[in-house]
Amino acid sequence: MEPSLKDSIYLQRERLARILHEPLAQLAVECSGAWDDRERLNDVLRKGFCTIPHRTFLYCLRTDGIQISDNVAATGLVPEHFGRDRSSRPYMNEAVPGWGFLLSDAYISLYGRRPSITALQLVRTDDHAVLGYLGADFDLRDLPLTAELYEEPSYWRQIKGDPAIRGGVFQQVRVESPLDRSLDQSLAILDELLTQRGVFQCQVHFSSSQATVWTASDPLRYRLLDHEALNDPDVCLVYPRTPYPADAAIPQNCIGPILGTLRSLRLTDETFYLRMSSINLFNGMVSVTFSCDGSHYMRYDEFLARSHAFWFGVDG
């Protein structure tokens, strides 16, 4: 099964914890011997600063969240944080595991207003009594990417839309759009663009009669096609003939049937009808958003396998 977004985040955090735990544990032992002396504690943190990878600040806290050292940064001491009450910060409201190390959930920092994360390491006496915490703040921009880039899963997902739209769905009726009046020709043009002209993703807005397309030769920029362009086969002349991508997840011969299914979802029912759809050749996904503002995301083959009963509750 493909990893979810939460799974991917967990793997990233786990690998970061492995990098950070050992050096913080070693520095916490040194902090224990200077715990009641602000100057000595600052000196320990300053000397150990370079041993903690990717850190922004180091500091020490009592168990009640009161800071008993200055902040130590790459530029030196930041004394205004001495005595600061951090008890209400997100990382202080997470339970430190029994092994004495916590890598917090990400949060937005108070001062920089940037996504950040904090590691807390328990500081203990030689007889294992808890003194407090060694804290290390990290700016997410400074942390290495220790896991692979997250990939969008291909399993079916349904996302509910605006409750106000869902609540009024039975009071609305599909109004024929300019795209509806030339739908067969417009879908034939989109078929040509997707299979022969280098377009790898398109978003079709049926109700507003427009489509947004992205090409493999210029993937960072989109092109907008209004209903006039979607009704004019000459538009294909400005998109060079391009071989269908060999690594596309959607087979070339499935594009026509997908577009035909979109046509049916648009025209079959006057109350529950298709408003917008997208197709991406490389991740193999089709999305559809209906008049109730609900959206579905699924693999192309699953999309083609769905019957009218799935979409409308009765066999068509």
Final residue of a structural domain among 84, 109, 142: 142
Is 208 in a helix, a strand, or coil? Answer: coil
How far apart are the two ends of the chain, measured CA to CA in Å? Answer: 33
Same domain, 133 and 274: no
Residues 69, 97, 3, CA angle at the centre, nearest 5°? Answer: 115
Instruction: Tell me whether residue 152 is in a domain.
Output: no
Q: What is the DSSP string of 112-163?
A: T-SEEEEEEEEEE-TT--EEEEEEEEEEGGGS---SPPP----S-EEE---H
Rounded-to-integer distance, Cα 120 and Cα 24, Å: 8
Q: Looking at the structure, do residues 130 and 228 belong to the same domain, yes or no?
A: no
Domain with 62, as residue range(s), is: 5-142
The pLDDT assigned to 167 comes to 52
Q: How far apart are CA 83 and CA 17, in angstroms?
A: 28
Regarding whether 114 and 252 lie in a shared domain, the answer is no
Chosen domain end from 142, 167, 186? 142
In a domain, 227, yes or no: yes
pLDDT digits (tens, 9 = 90+) for 182-234: 999 999 999 999 999 999 999 999 999 999 999 999 999 999 999 999 999 99
Listed in sequence order, the residues at least 6 apart from 262 whose beta carbon sits closer than 8 Å to its beta carbon are 187, 204, 274, 277, 288
Query: In total, how many domains does the chain have?
Result: 2
Looking at the structure, do residues 229 and 105 belong to the same domain, yes or no?
A: no
Residues 194, 266, single domain; the answer is yes
For the stretch 234-251, pLDDT in tens is: 999 899 999 999 999 999
DSSP 8-state secondary structure symbol assigned to residue 25: H
Q: Are residues 164 and 101 in the same domain?
A: no
Q: Which residues of 156-168 are buried (b: 16+ CB within 10 A; e: fewer)?
A: eeeeeeeeeeeee
Query: What's the CA gap between 265 and 207, in Å, rounded?
Result: 13
Same domain, 45 and 192: no
In a domain, 282, yes or no: yes
Q: What is the pLDDT of residues 294-310, one digit of tens each?
A: 788 999 999 999 887 88
Beta bridge partners of 278: 203, 287
Tell whether 162 and 77 lie within a shared domain.
no
pLDDT at 154: 64
Statement to judge: residues 227 and 265 lie in one domain: yes
pTM for the model stands at 0.68
Residue 9 is predicted with a pLDDT of 73
Residues 6+ apart with CB under 8 A from 94: 102, 104, 105
- Count CA within 13 A, CB hemisphere, residue 106: 14
Instruction: Mark which of 87, 118, 142 sits at the end of a domain.
Output: 142
Q: Are 266 and 206 in contact (CB under 8 A)?
A: yes
pLDDT of residue 108: 87
One domain, residues 115 and 203: no
Residues of the chain with pLDDT under 70: 1-5, 7-8, 145-156, 158-171, 293, 313-316
Q: In the prediction, which pLDDT does 2 show?
A: 58
Residue-level pLDDT at 16: 83
Residues 27, 118, single domain; the answer is yes
pLDDT at 256: 96
Residue among 228, 11, 16 at smallest CA distance from 143: 16
Amino acid at 6: K
